[in-house]
Amino acid sequence: MNFLELCKKRQSCRDFASMPVEREKLVNCIEAARLTPSACNSQPWSFVVVDNPEKAAAVAQATMQFGANAYIAAAKAFIVILEEHAVLMPKIRGLFDSQHFAQNDLGAAAMSICYAAEDQGLGTCILGLFDREELRRLLDIPAEKRFATVIALGYPADGTVRPKGRKSIEQIARFI
Amino acid sequence: MNFLELCKKRQSCRDFASMPVEREKLVNCIEAARLTPSACNSQPWSFVVVDNPEKAAAVAQATMQFGANAYIAAAKAFIVILEEHAVLMPKIRGLFDSQHFAQNDLGAAAMSICYAAEDQGLGTCILGLFDREELRRLLDIPAEKRFATVIALGYPADGTVRPKGRKSIEQIARFI
């Protein structure tokens, strides 16, 4: 499968199957994140990977805010992405705050995880809304550590690719 | 090639060949970015794709700040990533500023571009340092529009994959 086919197939999974996720596949997701480029190779990330069934169920509860995201209850694993201090190169350091590029880099790492998961037959859903304090408690995450996103993972119950509601290339790109 | 092999092969290109880049391949890169997920499907991005040789040379000059990045002069194309207003879902809107997730989403889109390029044999380098005012002038970008990153593209002159200086999985991930 070429990469563009992978992009077309990848979608936010709304229906996870009951099959558990192999630890090896989660390690491959982290490997993809690890190899992601970042500003000055600062690697401003760390990851908590949760596949213990009881812990995963508790993490799911902490992400199902406002009565929405009920489908997350069936996710079999989670990767919590945390923001770490970014050490930029000396010549860059004076120009930008250390964390200036961190959100961009964290988004890139999250995307690598989603593609690595999809390539291994796993569905993903990136979550931005969750009970941070509950996740700290459950996963022993220090109070000063900042969360980026949480990725829910599992095998999709249904392989159907939904149409993607996106703007057209003409709406988003200009060629010069 | 599976996705993890693509991750291992992808590196910031430091030596671009003189061969021009086919427009079709750049369109494929934009297609990968277009299909990238974003918070509430807000798609907070637009792209200026520059492959006209004279314009590309001028963009290269605007990104070669502080005497560094001299290798960028040989890049044959650029994709300038701009931040657009993000419309979040009503229930999310009250909780976060509209642009709260935008940098994360812009980083994800940039990563999609780099993988799509690599999969087509192209090298990339994501640049965070550039002369914004000069780029506005060259590419007719309105004063209020915010830049994310600029991606330099071209065929790599040398296919050697350098060792990647990254923290180990043990240093960045905890499995629960």
pLDDT for B11 equals 97
Asked if A175 lies within 8 A of B10 by C-beta distance, the reply is no
Is residue A111 in a domain? yes
Confidence of residue B159 (pLDDT cuts 50, 70, 90): confident
Our count of domains for chain A comes to: 1
Measured between alpha carbons, how far is residue B163 from residues A77, A140, A147, B99 in Å? 31, 34, 29, 36
pLDDT band at B90 (very low <50, low <70, confident <90, very high): confident
Residues of B in contact with A139 (CB under 8 A): 176
| pTM for this predicted structure | 0.97
B34: nearest CB among A110, A139, A172: A172
- Mean pLDDT for all residues in chain B: 95
Report CA-CA distances (Å) from A73 to A56, A131, B91: 9, 15, 20
Q: Which helix (H) or strand (E) holds A171?
A: helix A169-172
Rounded Cα–Cα distance for residues B173 and B176 (Å): 10
In a domain, B57, yes or no: yes
Per residue in B67-89, pLDDT (tens digit) is 568 899 999 999 999 999 999 98
pLDDT for the residue B23: 98
At B175, the pLDDT band (50, 70, 90 cuts) reads very high
Provide the pLDDT for residue A66.
62
The minimal CB distance from B34 to the residues A34, A95, A169 is found for A169
* A40, A86 contact by CB (below 8 A): yes
Gap from B5 CA to chain A (nearest CA, Å) = 9
Structural domain includes residue B4 = no
What's the token pair of residue B90? 């009503």
What is the distance in angstroms between the Cα of A148 and the nearest Cα belonging to chain B? Answer: 8
* Matching residue, tokens 């993890």: B4
CB B74 within 8 A of CB B158: no
- The residue of chain B with its CA nearest to that of A68 is B91
Query: How many Cβ atoms from other residues are within 10 Å of residue A161's Cβ?
Result: 11
Is B39 inside any structural domain?
Answer: yes
CA distances from A104 to A151, A176, B65 (A): 16, 25, 21
Tell me what pLDDT residue A132 has: 94
Touching B: A residues 18-37, CB under 8 Å: 23, 26-28, 30-37
Question: Residue A69 has what pLDDT?
Answer: 81
Pairing of strands B45-50, A146-154: unpaired
Judged against a pLDDT cut of 80, whether residue B66 lies above it is answered with no
Alpha helices in chain B (DSSP H): 3-9, 23-34, 53-63, 90-93, 102-119, 132-139, 169-172
| CATH code for position A106 | 3.40.109.10
What residues make up the domain containing B116? 12-158
The mean per-residue pLDDT over the stretch B87-112 comes to 93
Residue A88 resides in a domain: yes
Interface of B with A in 69-98 (CB under 8 A): 91-92, 95-96
Q: What is the arithmetic mean of pLDDT over B130-142?
A: 96
Q: What is the pLDDT of residue B67?
A: 59
Contact A35 B7 (CB under 8 A): yes
CB nearest to A166's CB, from B35, B92, B103 = B35
- Say how many CA atoms lie within 13 Å of A139 toward its Cβ: 33
Residue B1 lies in a domain: no
User: From the first residue on, what is the mean pLDDT of each consecutive set of 10 residues in chain A (176 residues)?
Assistant: 95 96 98 97 98 97 80 96 94 89 98 98 95 96 97 95 97 98
- What ipTM score was computed for the predicted complex, to two decimals? 0.96
Closest by CA to A28, choosing from A64, A92, A77, A83, is: A77
> Does B167 sit within 8 Å of A111, measured CB to CB?
no
Amino acid at A147: F
Q: Which of A113, A107, A33 is nearest to B106 (CA)?
A: A107
User: Measured between alpha carbons, how far is residue B133 from residues A64, A76, B116, B142, B151 in Å?
Assistant: 44, 48, 29, 10, 17
Could you tell me which residues come within 8 angstroms of residue B163 by beta carbon, excluding any fewer than 6 positions away? Answer: none
- In whole angstroms, give the CA distance from residue B78 to residue B26: 9
- Which one is predicted more confidently, B159 or B38? B38
